[in-house]
Amino acid sequence: MDFLMDAVKWILHPDLAPLLDRGASVFLLVIAAIVFAESGLLFGFFLPGDSLLFSAGLVVALAGQPNLALLIGVVFVAAVLGDQVGYMFGARVGPALFTRPDSRFFKQDNVTKAHAFFEKHGAKALILARFVPIVRTFTPILAGVSAMRYRTFITFNVVGGALWAVLGTLLGYGLGKRFPELESYLTPVVLVIVLLSVLPMIFEYRKAKKNSRVAA
Structure confidence at residue 205 (pLDDT): 58
Q: What pTM was estimated for this model as a whole? A: 0.78
Give the chain's domain count: 1
Task: Assess contact for 176 and 142: CB atoms under 8 A.
Answer: no
Among 67, 80, 94, residue whose Cα is nearest residue 160: 80
Task: Assess contact for 137 and 45: CB atoms under 8 A.
Answer: yes
Structure confidence at residue 160 (pLDDT): 93
Distance CA 98, CA 113 (A): 12
Among 43, 26, 27, 44, residue whose Cα is nearest residue 35: 44
Give me the half-sphere count of Cα atoms (radius 13 Å) on the Cβ side of residue 137. Answer: 23
Averages of pLDDT over each 10 residues, the chain, 216 residues: 49 69 89 92 81 89 91 96 93 73 66 68 81 85 83 92 94 86 67 67 65 63
Structure confidence at residue 164 (pLDDT): 94
Structural domain span for residue 119? 2-215
Structure confidence at residue 197 (pLDDT): 65
Structure confidence at residue 208 (pLDDT): 60
Structure confidence at residue 131 (pLDDT): 86
Structure confidence at residue 143 (pLDDT): 87
